[in-house]
Amino acid sequence: MRIKTKLTLGLGLLFTLIIFLGGIGAVYIHFLKLDTRNILHDNYNSLLYAKSMLRALDKSGDGRLAQFEEQLKNQEGNATEVGEKEMNSTLRNYFEAYKKNGQRQEDVIQIREWLIEVMEMNMQAIALKSELANKTAVQATIWIAIAGIACFVI
């Protein structure tokens, strides 16, 4: 076999190994991006909406009901966890009762309790999804290390 052929085959093999390692890295980076996006998009927004609703309850004036209503609509459109849609429905019922009953303090207490439940549900989901992202990162590290070692051996 001629030297030119050997060099071509060797460089071709190295090029293939580099592409292989790059592909594994790109795939796992994509998985990590999806895991992170799920946490931020789904659950973090729910926490922001709930916090805004709590702040609206603490304000005085007529604009607070409109602000609460707007954030509640946002939250209803962001029901991503199991049971969150039902919790939003219950929250909506309490809010409607609050508006209808002359804004009683008892209704505010119920609304606050349900907002805290929604927040706790989403914080637990963040913790679980964060753990999933950590497992994906560990798995990525292992596979990239195995592929790197295999490339080194080759």
The radius of gyration of the chain from alpha carbons, rounded to an integer in Å, stands at 26
Surface-to-core class of residue 148, CB atoms within 10 Å of its CB (0-12 exposed, 13-18 middle, 19+ buried): middle
Q: Residue 18 has what pLDDT?
A: 83
Averaged pLDDT for residues 114-142? 86
Round to whole Å and give the CA distance between 141 and 144. 5
Residue with tokens 């439940």: 117
Q: Residue 24 has what pLDDT?
A: 83
Averaged pLDDT for residues 135-139? 84
Query: Phi/psi at 61 (nearest 5 deg)?
Result: 105, 170
Q: Residue 120 has what pLDDT?
A: 92
Q: Residue 10 has what pLDDT?
A: 82
- Give pLDDT tens digits for 95-119: 888 888 877 888 888 889 989 988 9
- Give pLDDT tens digits for 29-86: 888 887 777 777 778 888 999 999 999 888 877 788 889 889 889 898 888 888 888 9
Tokens of residue 94, six digits: 């309490």
Task: Answer yes or no: are the C-beta atoms of 115 and 50 closer than 8 Å.
Answer: yes
- For the chain, the maximum distance between any two Cα atoms, rounded to a whole number of angstroms, is 93
Question: Which tops the pLDDT comparison, 5 or 151?
Answer: 5
Q: Residue 42 has what pLDDT?
A: 76
Task: Answer yes or no: are the C-beta atoms of 21 and 147 closer than 8 Å.
Answer: yes
Round to whole Å and give the CA distance between 39 and 44. 7
Q: Residue 136 has what pLDDT?
A: 82
